């Protein structure tokens, strides 16, 4: 995975990560790619990548994730 993300332009890395995120079967590959970016790229590149990955609209065709229930809906064990 390192070779796929270490030296490629960030736009290509964004495209790869976005593609991997589309399928749950590639969840670990997505994590590995993000980790490789964090370890092998400069802080500036990582910052820019985060900006590119979080820029709206994000996955317009992907199902929305459910938000966490409100604290009042959580039952705490005592």
Read off the pLDDT of residues 16-46 as tens digits, 9 standing for 90 and up: 999 998 888 999 999 999 999 999 999 999 9
Measured between alpha carbons, how far is 58 from 76 in angstroms, rounded to an integer?
Answer: 34
1 close to 40: Cβ distance less than 8 angstroms: no
Q: What is the CA radius of gyration of the chain?
A: 16
DSSP type of residue 9:
-
> Which pLDDT score is estimated for 66?
45
> Which pLDDT score is estimated for 5?
83
Percent of the chain with pLDDT over 90: 47
What pTM does this model have? 0.65
**Confidence grade of residue 65 (pLDDT, cut at 50, 70, 90):** very low
């Amino acid at each position: 995975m390192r070779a796929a993300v270490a030296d490629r332009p960030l736009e290509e890395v964004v495209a790869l990560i976005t593609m991997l995120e589309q399928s749950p079967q590639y969840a670990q590959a997505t994590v590995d790619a993000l980790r490789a970016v964090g370890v092998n790229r400069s802080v500036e590149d990582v910052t820019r990548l985060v900006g590119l990955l979080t820029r709206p609209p994000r996955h317009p065709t992907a199902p929305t994730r459910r938000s966490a229930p409100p604290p009042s809906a959580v039952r705490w064990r005592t």
